[in-house]
Chains A and B, each alone.
Chain A
């Protein structure tokens, strides 16, 4: 079963929630919707589910128009960020509920419940009630209920956001494994770039109700179409520096100059925004033409195995991502090295002029 949206608009109380959405999702595909809070992810999923009707445009399943068909008549499951289960039913009956509703015979129900519980590692809790379980187990139960019936579309609306990061790690890789062997369309909404990359599949970037870019997740990450895409798909945020190209030189801010050579030589004179990913800046130079920058440490954020340095200078601020644990005092002086060949170049309208990844493939 394929699912397509054609020119879908949604206007609620005069506010544009979705604008000109065109998407085509294939059976067996894993589709991530990445965007900030209120970007339109939930609105879009509700259209797919049939919980809401678009103001204009069409929703098609296998080419047939289902725009006006309600959720009960579409073969769809949904998992929400809150752990939603029937508190008065055991885990077993929670998982069985969609099958019972579909009048599946008892032997088949039993078989499917056990299979699904096994897959999500909640078999030992089948006779417990949801509220007696941990958050992770409750969400596994909700996921099992969504997965037990053969839904053709399964929608996940930030399902892991209320779990701690170790559980997220586990459930994320389990989900990815599960969908390898299913022929359903999975749609997964998240605000976190790293989650989109970890899930793989296709990523669609949503911003203010519009689709900014769609493609294989790692490719969208490496070749963002514009500044918004680069910014949405970067955690920590991509560094953006305003600069000028003039007389065979690049000027960042006012005082940082470097020659316009090698990878940047095709840039014409004028203003640009230069982007550099936090992980591409280092504490030691790796290339002869790396740009040395003297900065001040505002904060060293340490994630356990990585360090994020928030740096400032009179010209611009930078975030640097380092592997390993590096402690710095606030306001310490530091030199960092920015590799010129890893710069993204955007014009003043924010469109991509040059991506470092494209150069590698050239």
Chain B
């Protein structure tokens, strides 16, 4: 069995990034879109940790913790906006948020 190298981790993170982006672009439910966004952030986290191990320094690990904290703040605001949308429209599909066009 071949050893798992940094390249494998980075490839996996690129795939996760692609899956997340696909989810954000194609899904209509706001919560699923948020899941896609979180997946993209965590794909970057995986790349950071893999590179940190590769280079043997801690900057990538520290960055990962910062990203986790920022993602939590983002999710808190995101969910509160979705609750506001649900109270107004009774649903959280993005098709219901289409007043602004032109």
A interacts with B: no
